[in-house]
Chain A
Amino acid sequence: MLKNLCQKMFGRSLWVYHANSGGCNGCDIEVLNVLTPYYDVERFGIKLVGSPRHADVMLCQGPATRATARALRNAYEAMPTPKLVFAIGGCACGGGIWHDTYAVLGPVEKVIPVNFYIPGCPPRPEAIIYGVAVAVGLVDKKVAPVEFKLLEMPVPRYHPADLRGRDEMVVYAKAEKL
């Protein structure tokens, strides 16, 4: 649904605005690496612009900090309406490893709604291109939540109720299973 919307709204090209709200610049370097001729994301029509008012997509790096949350919100509100937000890197997705310090509010999604997440610290340039390709609809996302449940206890539990008297001896009824 979101993919169709993406394709409809952003059929021609995405202009991205690159917002760092307190990251370490690792993700910025990877994002700029994506724009170099080697990875060349301009073949998808992606172009870096300097103002959020020109942009369709906001690339967020870094957690929402106390000092920058308001500015991030303002930048988001300045973008024209069919807009997407990418959270790039572990800080923007989950708050980073300093998520519980006094200055960090948490992930970017606490301040602005996020459409696509690209975890990694920093994500590889290929991972960022993959996120863009997922958004544009070229490829499908690969990850799915993994849940593992054991249905049966592998070792039977000892219960005194299972003790049986047999010929002046007390035998544990499930002993052969132990």
Chain B
Amino acid sequence: MSLASKFKEAMVGLKAGRVTLDYPAHPRPVAGNFRGRPVFDAQKCIGCAGCANNCPAREILVFDVCQEIRILKYLGRRCTYCGRCADVCPEKAITMSHEFETATNKIADVQQTLDLFMSTCQRCGRCFKESSPLEQLKLKGYRFDDLNNERWIFRSRAYLESEPVVDDIKIELD
């Protein structure tokens, strides 16, 4: 009785075969709708910072060096791969790749930094005005996120240092 049941169990085990993945040697393709690490395309990016404003984890930092140069830094540490940045991007510069093998011994390895040139009006040298007041609300003006400490800074007086980095911030804050 007991021997027969053991034999039956062994037969069941033999019939099922081997199910274990031979993972690092033979990877299995991921599902088509899998969202992995976002990949930023600097050629398409216009630097609107929509991704930075919509990131739930505040992972994308924007730093305006001057009027023409904007640094967009994706940290990738606490990214939940929600795909909202790719959704909101007007130029489709962000694609959610299928890449998930991001294990590393230095967390800075998952960073992506884009150094972008921003276009301004060729006449006055200022930024373009938005078409409606509602769209102006979404603008954050100049952004001075803390790239060294990797911290997102809100556009309010409370979070900024007493002396502004660039004099233009006085206009933007009022």
A2's partner among B103, B105, B119 (CB-CB below 8 A) is: B105
Interface flag for B107 (CB, 8 Å): yes
Q: Roughly how many angstroms separate A146 CA and B102 CA in the complex, as a whole number?
A: 13
A residues whose Cβ falls under 8 Å from a Cβ of B: 2, 37-40, 43, 90-91, 93-97, 99-100, 107, 109, 115-121, 123-124, 126-131, 133-134, 138-139, 141-150, 153-155, 157-158, 178
Q: Roughly how many angstroms separate A153 CA and B66 CA in the complex, as a whole number?
A: 13
Interface hub of B27, B104, B115 (most chain A Cβ within 10 A):
B104
Pairs of residues from A and B, 4 with the lowest C-beta to C-beta distance, nearest first:
A94-B77, A94-B78, A131-B103, A121-B80
Given contacts A90-B80, A91-B78, A94-B77, contact A99 B102 (CB under 8 A): no
Q: Roughly how many angstroms separate A39 CA and B21 CA in the complex, as a whole number?
A: 6
Minimum C-beta distance from B126 to chain A (A): 12
Chain B residue numbers with a CB within 8 Å of A144 are 109
Q: Report whether A121 and B20 are in contact in the complex, using a CB–CB cutoff of 8 Å.
A: no
B residues whose Cβ falls under 8 Å from a Cβ of A: 19-21, 23-24, 27-28, 30, 40, 42, 56-59, 68, 75-81, 99-117, 119, 122-123, 125
B100's partner among A40, A107, A123 (CB-CB below 8 A) is: A123
Given contacts A121-B81, A145-B113, contact A157 B75 (CB under 8 A): no
What are 27 contact pairs spanning A and B, CB under 8 A? A2-B105, A37-B20, A38-B20, A43-B20, A94-B75, A94-B77, A94-B107, A97-B57, A99-B78, A100-B58, A115-B105, A117-B104, A119-B76, A119-B79, A120-B100, A121-B79, A121-B81, A124-B100, A127-B100, A133-B23, A138-B24, A143-B109, A146-B40, A146-B111, A153-B117, A155-B119, A157-B125
Q: Is the interface of A mostly helix, strand, loop or mixed?
A: loop
Contacts A124-B100, A142-B99, A148-B112 known; 10 new A-B pairs at CB < 8 A: A93-B77, A94-B78, A96-B57, A130-B23, A133-B24, A142-B102, A143-B110, A148-B42, A150-B42, A157-B122
Chain A residue numbers with a CB within 8 Å of B57 are 90, 94, 96-97, 99
Given contacts A90-B80, A119-B77, A123-B100, contact A130 B24 (CB under 8 A): yes
Q: Roughly how many angstroms separate A127 CA and B24 CA in the complex, as a whole number?
A: 10
